[in-house]
């Protein structure tokens, strides 16, 4: 076994690898960009080296500085994690040419599976079933449109390189094919440097089931059973589980055999995942699943496999990379219980899952009942440069029902302050009937998207409590004198204060009146609520609201306030009282950047007539492409940005002429 390992990654997966390496007595070296100098993975590693600027292209995707960093500290091996350079055959070769061990498969195996069209052809020759479609070299747009017509709609356009849902579009109608192809190619080129695509028949009720495989340098290949990853949004996994619900011994045997054949066909070494799409219109059958792709790396969802097998997959990776044989034969690998993984992201489900930034003013997870894999701590900032993953929450139970209850309870116990998250969306998803009953499919979230993401009004009580928190009246370090906490004084009557507070796209004005020490009357919405402060402590308070005892938590950073109330994490915006804040509504004649990002495409010019909903600007932010559209019909007055510009949140991109001036 080698003694020093450099981890060519960041965030959660870098921290995950460091913990296993430390247990095995291996010293670790972290690399970091300008945005990650104080990151958790840097703090956990034995050594850390700066490799470049904040953009991934200048740091985590720059192979030469990473290899040089490993050489400079005498690292004997490099673990690529997942994402970034993990499936880059050139990087794997560069590592080996530098005299170090690449903790992953041989470069030839990466190349064999790196292009999906070539991989599917190879699988067909190896007897592994593939999804019907077009996997050829011809990329002319009209030719591909003809092939799509022959396959029959709906079809799936899929980048032949990379993964993670990038460069993928589902097309329902022939007339939508051209714009979808253009968008898929652009996204694929940006993400992988390869805009070529393939086409597949889109199965109307599919399930995404994948098999974890492992090979060593001695010719041994095993599988570690399946994971169901059918709960997806924009082709990206949301909740994963192992084993797959409804899986029979016959189907598991057929799928496991196919996965092992796929790995054998390319001489696979290390951890890999063979992904299948199963047509479950009439249930799971051994002749109704198809090869989609093989990920030649560790998967984000690997912890659910670890939970049911008791095997540390990172340890296996390190042992296999150092030349050891697989620790177990197929017959000795068994399953125990059920596991789920939910991905907690800084994103806003009510705004189309728009990635969010912000400082994590509070971050706490349930203790003892779940595993939490995270790359951030309380006080860290979610930046616009990388994937906005906060944590992966993993639970295990004796059966699916027990594990699902644990997942729901664990999610409800998470407290995340300072940024909007998908926590409540995940809770709703776990309560969805088809998922609860063990019948997930890849279209489930899309079918129920409105119900799953509909914003829930905070309620008068929550507004009242948020307003009190905003005054500082519940801060244990502040005076409890009602006059100072409310910031006003008068000769007779009660002290009053008006608080403007925003939640989602709704602005409310709350009136607070002091009724003596620690007593308030708060008018919010149609209610006037008497509030008595019973106790204050750091980050929370005990209150009596209209005669009912309440225990609340809260955190605040500048104008962002998070209230933990009634099992919900409610994020409010409290505008600066001196400046009046910014309006919660954007003028109809301005198109603004919803977050920091790169302008990829400007589709209009000054003087162009546009219709409501027409795409005007395409941005790329946090590894996601955002299409920004006109809020109304009108004429373009000015375009304020050019393609390739880096813009901050709130930047005005395009202005429409005032309606009266047209």
Contact partners, residue 652, CB within 8 Å, separation at least 6: 590, 591, 592, 640
Which residue's entry shows tokens 């299948």? 276
Which residue, among 395, 433, 435, has the nearest Cα to 411 in the 3D structure? Answer: 395
Q: For residues 366 and 423, is the Cβ–Cβ distance under 8 A?
A: no
297 is catalytic: yes
Rounded CA-CA distance 273/168 in Å is 19
Strands 519-524 and 506-514: antiparallel
Rounded CA-CA distance 568/414 in Å is 9
Question: In degrees, to the nearest 5, what angle opens at C-alpha 655 toward C-alphas 654 and 656?
Answer: 125
Both tokens assigned to 242: 């192992």
What is the helix (H) or strand (E) element at residue 470, kind and residue range?
helix 459-471
| Cα within 13 Å of Cα(274), Cβ side | 35
* Sequential DSSP letters for 58-126: GTTT-HHHHHHHHHHHT-SEEE--SSTTTT-HHHHHHHHHTT-EESSS-HHHHHHHHSHHHHHHHHHHT
Both tokens assigned to 373: 């894999």
Q: Is 138 helix (H, G, I), strand (E, B) or coil?
A: coil
Rounded CA-CA distance 404/342 in Å is 11
Strands 560-565 and 548-557: antiparallel
Rounded CA-CA distance 423/390 in Å is 11
Q: Of 297, 423, 523, 536, which one is the catalytic site residue? A: 297
State the Cα torsion 214-217-218-221 to the nearest 10°.
20
Question: In degrees, to the nearest 5, what angle opens at C-alpha 472 toward C-alphas 468 and 475?
Answer: 110
What's 232-285 look like in SS3?
Answer: EECCEEEEEEECCCCCCHHHHHHHHHHHHHHHHHCCCCEEEEEEEEEECECECC
Rounded CA-CA distance 66/68 in Å is 5
Which region, left, alpha or beta, applies to residue 304 given φ > 0 means left and ψ of -120 to 50 means alpha? Answer: alpha
Which residue, among 534, 529, 496, has the nearest Cα to 518 in the 3D structure? Answer: 534
Question: In degrees, to the nearest 5, what angle opens at C-alpha 377 toward C-alphas 227 and 501?
Answer: 100
Which residue's entry shows tokens 């093989």? 294
Q: State the CB neighbour count (10 A cutoff) for residue 516.
A: 9
| Cα within 13 Å of Cα(218), Cβ side | 12
Both tokens assigned to 368: 């003892």
Which residue's entry shows tokens 């192979």? 63
Catalytic residues: 297
């Amino acid at each position: 076994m080698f003694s020093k390992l450099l981890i060519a990654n960041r965030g959660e997966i870098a921290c995950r690898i460091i913990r296993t390496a430390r247990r095995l007595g291996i010293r670790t070296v972290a690399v970091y960009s300008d945005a990650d100098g104080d990151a958790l993975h840097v703090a956990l590693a034995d050594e850390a080296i700066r490799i470049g600027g904040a953009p991934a292209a200048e740091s985590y995707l720059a192979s030469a500085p990473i290899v040089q960093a490993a050489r400079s500290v005498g690292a004997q091996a490099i673990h690529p994690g997942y994402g970034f350079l993990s499936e880059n055959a050139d990087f794997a070769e560069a590592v080996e040419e530098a005299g170090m061990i690449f903790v992953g498969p041989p470069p030839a195996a990466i190349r064999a599976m790196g292009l999906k069209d070539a991989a599917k052809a190879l699988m067909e020759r190896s007897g592994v079933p593939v999804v019907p479609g077009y996997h050829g070299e011809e990329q002319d747009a009209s030719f591909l449109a003809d092939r799509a017509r022959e396959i029959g709609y709906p079809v799936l356009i899929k980048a032949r390189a990379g993964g993670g849902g990038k460069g993928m579009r589902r097309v329902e109608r022939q007339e939508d094919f051209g714009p979808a192809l253009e968008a898929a190619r652009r996204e694929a080129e940006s993400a992988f440097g390869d805009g070529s695509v393939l086409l597949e028949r889109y199965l109307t009720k599919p399930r995404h089931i994948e098999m974890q495989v492992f090979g060593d340098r001695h010719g041994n290949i095993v599988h570690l059973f399946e994971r169901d990853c059918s709960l997806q949004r924009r082709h990206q996994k949301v909740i994963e589980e192992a084993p797959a619900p409804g899986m029979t011994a016959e189907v598991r045997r057929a799928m496991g055999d196919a996965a092992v054949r796929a790995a054998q066909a390319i001489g696979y070494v290390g951890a890999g995942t063979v992904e299948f799409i199963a047509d479950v219109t009439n249930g799971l059958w051994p002749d109704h699943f198809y090869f989609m792709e093989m990920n030649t790396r560790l998967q984000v969802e690997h912890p659910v496999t670890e939970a049911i097998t008791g095997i540390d997959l990172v340890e296996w990776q390190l042992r296999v990379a150092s030349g050891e044989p697989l620790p177990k034969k197929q017959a000795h690998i068994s399953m125990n219980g059920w596991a789920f993984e939910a991905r907690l992201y800084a994103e806003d489900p009510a705004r189309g899952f728009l990635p969010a930034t912000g400082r994590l003013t509070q971050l706490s997870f349930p203790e003892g009942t779940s595993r939490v894999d995270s790359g951030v701590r309380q006080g860290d900032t979610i930046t616009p440069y990388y994937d906005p993953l906060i944590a992966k929450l993993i639970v295990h139970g004796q059966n699916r029902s027990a594990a699902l209850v644990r997942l729901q309870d664990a999610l409800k116990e998470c407290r995340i302050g300072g940024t909007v998250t998908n926590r409540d969306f995940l809770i709703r998803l776990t309560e969805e009937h088809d998922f609860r009953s063990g019948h997930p499919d890849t279209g489930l979230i899309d079918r129920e998207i409105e119900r799953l993401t509909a914003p829930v009004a905070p309620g008068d009580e929550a507004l009242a409590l948020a307003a009190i928190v905003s005054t500082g009246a519940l801060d244990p370090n502040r005076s409890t004198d009602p006059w100072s906490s409310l910031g006003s004084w008068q000769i007779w009557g009660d002290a009053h204060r008006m608080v403007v507070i925003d939640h989602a796209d709704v602005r409310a004005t709350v009136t607070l009146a002091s009724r003596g020490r620690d007593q308030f009357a708060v008018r919010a919405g149609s209610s006037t609520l008497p509030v008595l402060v019973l106790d204050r402590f750091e980050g929370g308070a005990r209150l009596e609201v209209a005669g009912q005892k309440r225990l609340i938590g809260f955190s605040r950073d500048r104008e962002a306030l998070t209230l933990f109330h009634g099992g919900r994490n409610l994020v409010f915006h409290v505008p600066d009282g001196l400046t009046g804040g910014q309006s919660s509504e954007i003028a109809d004649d301005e198109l603004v950047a919803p977050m920091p990002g790169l302008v990829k495409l400007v589709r209009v010019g000054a003087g162009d007539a546009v219709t409501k909903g027409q795409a005007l600007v395409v941005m790329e932010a946090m590894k996601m492409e955002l299409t920004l559209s006109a809020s109304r019909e009108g004429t373009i007055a000015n375009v304020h940005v050019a393609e390739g510009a880096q813009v901050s949140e709130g930047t005005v991109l395009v202005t429409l002429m005032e309606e009266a001036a047209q």
